[in-house]
Structure 1
Amino acid sequence: MKHVLMPHDAMRKSIALTFEKLNARCAHRARRFRTDESGAVVALALFIFIFMLAVAGLGIDLMRHEMKRTHLQATLDSAVLAAAGTKIKDGSNSPENDLQQVIKDYFEAAQIGGYLQDFNDDDIKIGDGKTEALASAKLEMDTYLMRLSGVDTLTAWATTQAAILAETLEIVMVLDVSGSMEGERLTELKKAAKKFVTTVLDNSNGIVSFSVVPFNSNVVPPREIYDNLKVAERHTYSTCLVFQSDGFKNTAIDPNQTYAQKIFTSMDRSGWHEVDFGEVGREKEPGEYVDHREDTSYNRSCHNDERFEILPYATTEGAVHDKIEMLTAAGGTSGDMGMKWASALLDPAFRPVVNEMGKLRVKTDSDGNIMRDEDGNEITYSQISNDLLGLPKDYPSKNDSGQTNNNKIIVMMGDGVNGWEVSLKDPANILSNPDYASDVNWDYRGPGSTLHRVRYYETEFKIARLVRSNGQIVQSSNDPSVCGKAVYQYWYGYRYYYGEWECEYEVTENEKTGYYFYASQKSNKYYDPDRDTYFSSRDAAFPYLVKDQNGQEIDVQLDWEETWGLVTPWRYAQITGDWGPYNEYNPNSSSTISGYTKENRMTDICSEAKEKGVIVYTIAFEMGETDGSNASALSSCASSSENSFAASLDGSVAGADGTARTIEEVFEVIAASVKKLSLRQ
């Protein structure tokens, strides 16, 4: 029987066949796919591409970060180094803030001012010959592609610290300005010394401190030094000090030690109340100056004016040149004092004095009023440059590389041997004795001189009367010059006292200061130097004295040190008849310090300075050859024979090296030698 498919059966069969074929085809393709390796690298490539994209994004952001960090670090390095190397302005109220501002200015100029971190109190340190600066900066940078990985920002820190050691060379020029230097010698010295200063400054790699110590009979420290030393001050006329022989066996002038003050007077026969005993080189007429042999100031004990003062610790060519140009010749020769002060200016014991000089001060006028600028601010100043705080540095030593640091140099020029130094005897060491006020020795030192200072009411002269000893008035006069004078007459060749002129005055309310000497060896013992008149009593000389608040008449007996600043020993002898001080204050006195003693003192102080590493150059100017007797003390003072020079005006005298030179040529050789020294510390 024939089987007949119905339409729906055919459809089912067709569908079944279709699925069977499809399953077979899928199975076949699955088997093919399972065994087919083509296209497998696509997935890996896709993965690698995504990874590379991430790495590239990381690299871009990191490069941006490193560029910004490098710029930040470079700016910070430059800023901190600039701050550490910045010269502190003289008179600055806050040098630390000034250096911080230098760093801030660098960052503002680089347009990254916001990245600089705040400063701590100890980030900027100034002192002990160096400047230290520390600063930090921080930046935050937004990322580009790293933010896809969750990193939105990158941070960069930079820190820099710099310390600049000041390359300081300390030089002291010890220059002879005794009377024998007058004329061409001094002219040539000035020219040579100024050229030396310029050469050294032009060839220096750091700070050069120049001090100039002029010496003649003594050495004059300026007030800024004197006021910072401990001095047993007995007068206010001058600032010269006294050093005993032991003082020349030590380079230091210790600010904690008490020093004696040199008396201020003169060997010359000057008049009364010449506190400066004349002015060296004063001008008689335009262009014509007093010769030193005519001038009472030539032999004074201390030449107390600016031309003879020490110039301490100058750093500018102008300041040193100005000092050298004002040098003036007068007086004797005390090279021992020149070397003593030069050594002290290089000795670390003097550092407290220098630091005091570096303190900020308010400027005042001659009346003591505070000076102000146009904005009303107080004008301030310091006595030395801030660069020099911490001087004198420690004595030279060798560093790890064998270089010498802290070079200290003395250049000493003299034109003659040390001469005698006159003085008044001081058996009780009264100048530095703490019991000064109780001294009663009759030694022309300490309290109790014969000079008195009084305050009196000014009077107007009315009439003078000659009064005999019995009170009889025998004559009248309108001449005030006769007041107080005794009158003598002769009777058959016999001189007898006749009477004295007594004057009548009208007292005013004007107060004045006067002086009188008690001249015990004169018949009329009260001498008024201003009127050049002797009186029989103090009341005759000053009848109307002012009284103090206790009702006591103002009559002060001056100390001897005050007296010698108003009158020379010679003039004192003329006034009082007492020749004791004059006999002491002359070259033949036992109290005179001999040239031989001063030569030994100079040898001692030179040896001490050299022992501590100070380099000493010496110049014997117009003294013959360096091995001659006149120049021997100078030659032995030098650090070596190579440092000892002879100089002459015409360049005809040979030095230790056999070469003849002028003073200018010698200074050129020394400048070249200084240039070779290592200046790094």
Structure 2
Amino acid sequence: MALVFFLIMIAAGGIAVDMMRYEMKRAQIQSTLDSAVLASAGAPYGSDHRAIIEDYFRVANMTDYLAAEKEGEIVVTVNSASVTANADMTMDTYLMKLSGIKELRTTGGSTAVRKVPKLEVVLVLDVSGSMGSNSKLVNLKKAAKEFVTSLLNGSEPGNTVISIVPFSWSVSPSVATFEALAVDRKHEFSTCIRFKANDHSHASLATGNSGFSSGQPLDQMIYTALYGNFDEFSGSESSSDYRSCYANDYMEILPFSVSETELHAKIDSLQASGNTSGNQGMIWGAALLDPSFRQITDDLIAAGEVASSQAAIPSNYGTAETLKVAVVMGDGQNTTSYFFSNGGQWRGQNSDLYEVKSQKRVFKYAYRKNKKDKISYDQSKCSNNSWECVYESSGEIESAFYLHDNYGDNRYYNTEEGEYLSSSDWDDLQDSDEFVSMRRLDWEEAWGYMSPYYYYQVTGDPNAYYDYYYYDRLDGSEKDTRMKASCTATKNEGVVVFSIGFEIDQGGTAEQVLKNCASSENHYFRAEGININDAFSAIASNVVNLRLTQ
């Protein structure tokens, strides 16, 4: 009996030892599986996710236990990750062999699923004139397009929404955006907005419906140029860089796009011109991520500029599984912009520019006064006071602009013909048979046709030029302050801001402003030449990592 009990005890002890070995190994395998799939699921988009799992098993000396990968076990996109791995083990027993059990076998599996957030991105891109040098714009376009593609291609359709905000002297919203805002409209030339300092203290646009505006409408920026010929701001190379605002399609904001084709086309269309107003770029970039902009989104959908699927964009701050990101690229310091003094002599009604409409008329016949039935087809009768001539309109109504020189000789300058009319000739012009109408323009409209320097050349009056150039300037330092305020306002709402300094002086003002704008120094990138592609690639990887940790 003692021998029997001894053998039973030996067998039981053997089972316990083998089971303990088995359980320790099984737990180790499962722990390695769990750690490996979590690391793999959390790796940056584009990593070799299977290799990460294999590395974990190699380090744990358990490579032989890892099962081969099966189709569908690893599915990773920019905004989701599902990683599965399996392992199996066969262990020889020690004392359990006495009971006829020679092997213990186990299998294990683990799956890590990371549901990453939807993504709202705005690219705020410097397209000032300096971007046209050293192939900078060419390199930017390539890098920006690859950035867009990397985010969209790995995302479920509609889950990544990207806006593009080009800036130089100013930023040009689309007509539909402009019309949806509460703006004190003064002219029809462009859609740029002039913002006040306190407009940068919050992320939303201070529209007339905004709680930040006290019901006051936004101020439409005057469209003009520092230099240039009459009605030739965009055609004159010397004046185009000095335009206060750009009405060209390539300068317009592209809001809330999910189309790679559309975004690439927008990036390809960008052109370099003008000086730098990063404050303008940032206030629009912040606004396009602010939930209050949804009231504008509705109008953009109605106008066909935005897909109806984007009705809920921009989403509310703090929305679960939604990440808002701004990427700001600049290649230099903010520079001075010029404005006419509000309420001054060169604003408001009754400018010195007149539009005269005329229409050619063809002689039809003449009749003798008081004897209308006596008709003559001799046009020379028109010079006889006894005869009245009848004319028939011919051709289209034509417009001509005349600039009144009331600073000097009280003459009227025909901007097309380049000739002056005396005051008496001006009166005769309005009495001519071809005269249709005359309109005196408001100053805000007049400056859309002429620059203050052109006005000075024609009239000899330098005061408009002095007013525009000297008295209401917005210099680079003030722009830096306003840009910082917009960056801070959007960061305070949880927006992640990355910035890129493209071929700028290390440690200079431009770099400091961009660093201050970024969410941290680690969110700022320097770039030179084609290396701007590396900066955008690094940001794309950072965005993916941020999404995986939401």
Normalising by structure 1, we get a TM-score of 0.56
Task: Specify whether residues 453 and 679 from structure 1 end up closer, same or farther in structure 2 by C-alpha distance, changes over 3 A only.
Answer: farther
Secondary structure at the counterpart of residue 454 of structure 1: strand
Structure 1: which amino acid aligns with 2:355? R
Equivalences for residues 338-353 of structure 1 within 5 A: 338-353=281-296
Output the CA distance in 2 between the equivalents of 1:622 and 1:457.
56
Contact 1:348 1:395 in 2 (8 A): yes
Contact 2:334 2:510 in 1 (8 A): no
Output the CA distance in 1 between the equivalents of 2:413 and 2:362.
20
Structure 1: 5+ residue stretches without partners: 1-164, 281-293, 362-381, 400-404, 429-441, 462-504, 548-552, 651-661
Count how many residue pairs are aligned between Structure 1 and Structure 2.
398
Match in the other structure for 1:272: 230
Identical aligned residues as a percent: 34
Task: Specify whether residues 279 and 529 from structure 1 end up closer, same or farther in structure 2 by C-alpha distance, changes over 3 A only.
Answer: closer
Encode CA deviations 1:424-462: one digit per residue, 9 max, x unaligned.
111x3xxxxxxxxxxxxx52011110111222343689x
Task: Give runs of ≥4 in structure 1 deviating > 4 Å.
Answer: 505-508
Of 500, 517, 540, 1:619 maps to: 500
Output the CA distance in 2 between the equivalents of 1:530 and 1:214.
34
Match in the other structure for 1:458: 360
Contact 1:190 1:324 in 2 (8 A): yes
Output the CA distance in 2 between the equivalents of 1:644 and 1:674.
13
Match in the other structure for 2:443: 560
Output the CA distance in 2 between the equivalents of 1:579 and 1:545.
36
Of 431, 444, 460, 1:543 maps to: 431
Structure 2: which amino acid aligns with 1:592? R
Match in the other structure for 1:515: 401
Structure 2: which amino acid aligns with 1:202? N
Residue 260 (1) aligns with residue 148 (2): no
Match in the other structure for 1:471: none
Structure 2: which amino acid aligns with 1:591? D
Output the CA distance in 1 between the equivalents of 2:164 and 2:330.
14
Task: Specify whether residues 355 and 617 from structure 1 end up closer, same or farther in structure 2 by C-alpha distance, changes over 3 A only.
Answer: same
Residue 314 (1) aligns with residue 257 (2): yes
Encode CA deviations 1:450-500: one digit per residue, 9 max, x unaligned.
111222343689xxxxxxxxxxxxxxxxxxxxxxxxxxxxxxxxxxxxxxx
State the shift of 1:645 in Å. 0.8
Match in the other structure for 2:323: 407
Equivalences for residues 138-537 of structure 1 within 5 A: 168-183=118-133, 184-205=135-156, 207-255=159-207, 256=209, 258-268=217-227, 270-274=228-232, 277-279=233-235, 294-359=237-302, 382-396=304-318, 405-426=321-342, 428=343, 443-458=345-360, 509-510=393-394, 511-537=397-423
Secondary structure at the counterpart of residue 346 of structure 1: coil
Contact 1:204 1:675 in 2 (8 A): no
Match in the other structure for 1:99: none
State the shift of 1:556 in Å. 1.6
State the shift of 1:308 in Å. 0.8
Secondary structure at the counterpart of residue 631 of structure 1: helix
Output the CA distance in 2 between the equivalents of 1:421 and 1:301.
8
Match in the other structure for 2:39: none
Task: Specify whether residues 565 and 420 from structure 1 end up closer, same or farther in structure 2 by C-alpha distance, changes over 3 A only.
Answer: same
Structure 1: which amino acid aligns with 2:171? V
Contact 1:203 1:675 in 2 (8 A): no
Larger radius of gyration: 1
Output the CA distance in 1 between the equivalents of 2:509 and 2:221.
30
State the shift of 1:506 in Å. 11
Contact 1:526 1:541 in 2 (8 A): no
Task: Specify whether residues 457 and 316 from structure 1 end up closer, same or farther in structure 2 by C-alpha distance, changes over 3 A only.
Answer: closer
Structure 1: which amino acid aligns with 2:393? E
Output the CA distance in 1 between the equivalents of 2:420 and 2:362.
20
State the shift of 1:228 in Å. 1.0
Contact 1:278 1:295 in 2 (8 A): no
Output the CA distance in 2 between the equivalents of 1:542 and 1:680.
74
Match in the other structure for 1:642: 522
Task: Specify whether residues 239 and 545 from structure 1 end up closer, same or farther in structure 2 by C-alpha distance, changes over 3 A only.
Answer: farther
Contact 1:406 1:679 in 2 (8 A): no
Match in the other structure for 2:538: 669
State the shift of 1:279 in Å. 4.0
- More relative contact order, 1 or 2 (CA 8 Å, 6+ apart): 2
Equivalences for residues 559-638 of structure 1 within 5 A: 559-586=442-469, 589-625=470-506, 627-638=507-518
Output the CA distance in 2 between the equivalents of 1:632 and 1:454.
53
Encode CA deviations 1:350-372: one digit per residue, 9 max, x unaligned.
1111022223x6xxxxxxxxxxx
Contact 1:358 1:389 in 2 (8 A): yes
Structure ranking higher in helix proportion = 2
State the shift of 1:167 in Å. 5.5
Structure 2: 5+ residue stretches without partners: 1-114, 210-214, 364-388
Match in the other structure for 2:372: none
Contact 1:456 1:542 in 2 (8 A): no
Secondary structure at the counterpart of residue 678 of structure 1: helix
Output the CA distance in 1 between the equivalents of 2:286 and 2:260.
22
State the shift of 1:315 in Å. 0.2
Contact 2:358 2:398 in 1 (8 A): yes
State the shift of 1:238 in Å. 0.6
